[in-house]
Amino acid sequence: MSKIRVHNLAVSVDGFATGEGQSLEAPFGHAGARLMGWFFGTRAFRSMNGKDGGSEGVDNAFASGWGPGIGAEIMGRNKFGPQRGPWEDEEWEGWWGDNPPFHTPVFVLTHHPRPTLTLKGGNSFHFVDASPAEVLAQAKEAAGGLDVRIGGGPSTVRQFLEADLIDHLHVVLVPIVLGRGVRLWDGLESLEDRFTVESVTTPSGVTHLTFTRR
Ligand SMILES: NC(=O)c1ccc[n+]([C@@H]2O[C@H](COP(=O)([O-])OP(=O)(O)OC[C@H]3O[C@@H](n4cnc5c(N)ncnc54)[C@H](OP(=O)(O)O)[C@@H]3O)[C@@H](O)[C@H]2O)c1
């Protein structure tokens, strides 16, 4: 049976998965690049962006779990871009250029649907106003039996955890204190009761936590 997976979700030690004040210049708000520093140097991240090289240690082993077996992604509208409210600029095609790294259908949750966007490399973005269960049904159908990745941001992942729809959650605890932003864990008291939780700290200083549905 296909699984619902989250990978590489970076969270500060005080629980924030993005900073405050997201904008075109600052996709992670005041957090800047601090949440994703462990990831940018990995071979997995570089190859996602068509580049050679990169680290091949434990961080890379976790990072590279992102792609295999995935047939569709679901993301929140704030991961797709910095605009809020009704779309002022439907020319916006996401952060990733004309050939994004997903190479599958991507379902973007939004209260402001817009026409489907088709880009190179098998990427299509479908803008959907729906509950987690409803959009998941659409994504599963599009995934054709493969797994569905919940790509973030934190508000979207939190909704899927609240609805108990996640089978595998990989969180990367980054030793920084952001103080403000969007929290992952709020309202998820005793989440660990539903999962087998494992962790490993790597030489880069981050701790990889995996939550696997019991
Ligand atoms: N730390 C990481 O690893 C990581 C990973 C991915 C992204 N990020 C960062 O996280 C930030 C985005 O996260 P976020 O928590 O602010 O937002 P998000 O989860 O990306 O998107 C939330 C927005 O999506 C729409 N939405 C969500 N659920 C919906 C539903 N059921 N029905 C209709 N619309 C729905 C709403 O937008 P509207 O009402 O405006 O339509 C909502 O405000 C960005 O800064 C991104 O760079 C971090």
Q: Is the CB of 22 under 6 A from ligand 1?
A: yes
Average confidence (pLDDT) over 107-124: 97
pLDDT tens by residue, 166-213? 999 999 999 999 999 999 999 999 999 999 999 999 999 999 999 999
pLDDT band at 114 (very low <50, low <70, confident <90, very high): very high
Q: Mean pLDDT across the chain, nearest whole number?
A: 97
Non-local CB neighbours of 122 within 8 Å, separated by 6+ positions: 103, 104
Non-local CB neighbours of 16 within 8 Å, separated by 6+ positions: 31, 154, 178, 179, 180, 181, 182, 183, 184
pLDDT tens by residue, 38-75? 999 999 999 988 899 999 999 999 999 999 999 999 99
Report helix, strand or coil for 153: coil
Q: How far is the C-alpha of 84 from the C-alpha of 117, rounded, in Å?
A: 18
**Residue to probe by mutation, ligand 1, list 92, 110, 209, most atoms within 8 Å of CB:** 110
Domains and CATH numbers, the chain: 4-84+97-213 (3.40.430.10)
Q: State in Å: Cα 140 to ligand 1 middle.
A: 20
pLDDT band at 89 (very low <50, low <70, confident <90, very high): confident
Residue 90 has pLDDT above 90, yes or no: no
- With CA atoms as reference, report the closest residue to 159 among 133, 129, 128: 133
Q: How far is the C-alpha of 39 from the C-alpha of 36, rounded, in Å?
A: 5
Residue 1 has pLDDT above 90, yes or no: no
Q: Is the CB of 204 under 6 A from ligand 1?
A: no
E-strand stretches of the chain: 4-12, 16-18, 70-76, 105-109, 117-118, 124-128, 147-150, 168-174, 182-183, 195-201, 207-213
